Amino acid sequence: MAFSQGFTPHPKISYASAAPTGVASEAEYLEIGLREPVDPAALRAALDAALSPGLDVLDAVVASAGSLADRIEASRWRIELPGVEPEVLATAVTAFTAAAEVQVERMTKQGRRTFDARSAVIHVDLVGPSETPSENTAVPCAILELVVRQVTPSVRPDDVLTGLRVVADLEPPVSPRVTRLAQGTLTAQGAIVDPLEADRDGAAIGER
């Protein structure tokens, strides 16, 4: 691994759009600077072997020019809301998508900010119970999948939930379960493309 210069050298590692604290993710990416060329498959295997079970390195490629962070244009999220009836969530989503803007407030590094949580949300879909595993079928669990554009300040899943509360008084009785499913380049049709797709022949690491 390459290190920076100076009195306090640091490993050259850069995370692209790291997930918020407290959420799960199946689509994390990072860049690692190396001192010399290595075989990407061997690097992937070595890193995977060194990590804890459940933290799996899926792929490693030699990065082309440009920052990986510049390729992350959107993320797709799944939000599971135990104790919320799907019909209640559907009503809240309809109100949210119909709004021209939904102002929410959150503490950021620059202090408390008010911003529009609606404009960054590209797609919102309600997922049926048969489309995802459930731990307890006796308890209702509304499930939401959304595609959110990368903007500044970033719009996070909890901001969207705040927006649903603003427009429809949706108050989940327990904490939601949030998982990032994908992130990458956004197509004109609103699909997310793997940001490493152009580098398959060419060190960025896809990590889950």
The CATH number of whichever domain residue 125 belongs to comes to 3.30.70
24 bridge partner residues: 179
Whether 8 is covered by a domain: the verdict is no
77 shares its domain with 176: yes
Dihedral sign computed on CA atoms, order 10, 199, 191, 181? negative
pTM of the model as a whole: 0.85
d(CA 175, CA 91) in angstroms, rounded, equals 20
62 shares its domain with 85: no
Whether 6 is covered by a domain: the verdict is no
62 shares its domain with 76: no
115 shares its domain with 17: no
d(CA 64, CA 204) in angstroms, rounded, equals 9
77 shares its domain with 177: yes
Collapsing DSSP to helix, strand or coil, 29 comes out as strand
DSSP code at position 156: P
162 shares its domain with 130: yes
Whether 3 is covered by a domain: the verdict is no
Tens of each residue's pLDDT in the chain, 208 residues: 999 999 999 999 988 887 888 899 999 998 999 999 999 999 999 999 999 998 999 999 998 867 888 889 999 999 999 999 999 999 999 999 999 999 999 887 878 889 999 999 999 999 876 555 545 556 789 999 999 999 888 899 999 999 999 999 999 999 999 999 999 989 888 889 888 887 775 444 444 4
98 shares its domain with 114: yes
**pLDDT at 12 (0 to 100):** 92
Name the residue range of residue 34's domain: 13-70+193-207
Whether 94 is covered by a domain: the verdict is yes
**pLDDT at 51 (0 to 100):** 94
Element at 90 (helix H, strand E): helix 86-98
Backbone angles phi, psi at 134, to 5 degrees: -125, 135
**pLDDT at 190 (0 to 100):** 82
Backbone angles phi, psi at 68, to 5 degrees: -60, -35
91 shares its domain with 55: no
For the chain, the distance separating the N- and C-terminal CA atoms, rounded to the nearest angstrom, is 20
182 shares its domain with 99: yes
**Residue 17: half-sphere exposure toward Cβ, Cα within 13 Å:** 30
137 shares its domain with 159: yes
Element at 193 (helix H, strand E): strand 192-193
- Total domains in the chain come to 2
152 shares its domain with 179: yes
- Gyration radius of the chain's alpha carbons: 19
176 shares its domain with 78: yes
Dihedral sign computed on CA atoms, order 166, 167, 168, 173? negative
Dihedral sign computed on CA atoms, order 7, 10, 12, 16? negative
